[in-house]
């Protein structure tokens, strides 16, 4: 149909009678759809900013239970295959960071913070000392 408004009872009665008025209206609509105004028309899209369920799309509560991988990286190094094959119990691997240097905190393999290693009873932990800024995170993507 040419418009989206519902038909009135009178229009429904005319269409169900199958009279000349209904046929003429259908022919006019078909001709309007085919002919148009002859030129290109701007596409109409719905606004994506409007949530389907008001108040829910902007709520962070929807993703609060999504699990994410958190990795604490002490340091890195490059080793040849020969050196890796020579590793055994008691071997020491030298890392690119010094003792006392901040460790990297990664979420889904993206650096988000730095911290220092702490011991809590018998477990290791990390105290966050610096949150990486959005600019630094963007620089890390390139």
d(CA 128, CA 63): 23
Give me the pLDDT at residue 116, please.
93
Give me the pLDDT at residue 45, please.
74
d(CA 103, CA 116): 6
Residue with the larger pLDDT of the pair 28 and 107: 107
Q: What is the pLDDT of residues 79-135, one digit of tens each?
A: 999 999 999 999 999 999 888 889 999 999 999 999 999 999 999 999 999 999 888
Give me the pLDDT at residue 111, please.
92
Any idea which of 43-57, 64-78, 125-139 has the lowest mean pLDDT? 43-57
pTM of the shown model:
0.51
Query: DSSP assignment, residue 100?
Result: T
Output the average pLDDT for the chain.
79
Give me the pLDDT at residue 56, please.
55
37 pLDDT band (50/70/90 cuts)? Answer: low
If you classify domain 66-141 with CATH, what class do you get?
Answer: mainly beta
Beta bridge partners of 106: 71, 111
């Amino acid at each position: 149909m040419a418009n989206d408004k519902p038909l009135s009872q009178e229009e429904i009665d005319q269409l169900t009678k199958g009279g000349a008025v209904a046929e003429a209206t259908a022919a006019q609509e078909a001709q309007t759809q085919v002919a148009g105004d002859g030129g290109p028309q701007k596409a109409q899209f719905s606004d994506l900013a409007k949530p389907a369920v008001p108040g829910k799309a902007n709520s962070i509560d929807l993703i609060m239970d999504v699990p994410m991988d958190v990795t604490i990286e002490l340091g890195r190094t490059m080793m040849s295959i020969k050196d890796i094959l020579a590793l055994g119990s008691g071997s020491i691997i030298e890392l690119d960071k010094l003792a006392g240097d901040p460790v990297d905190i990664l979420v889904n393999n993206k650096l988000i913070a730095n911290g220092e290693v702490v011991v809590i009873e018998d477990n290791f932990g990390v105290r966050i000392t610096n949150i990486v800024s959005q600019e630094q995170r963007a620089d890390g993507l390139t």
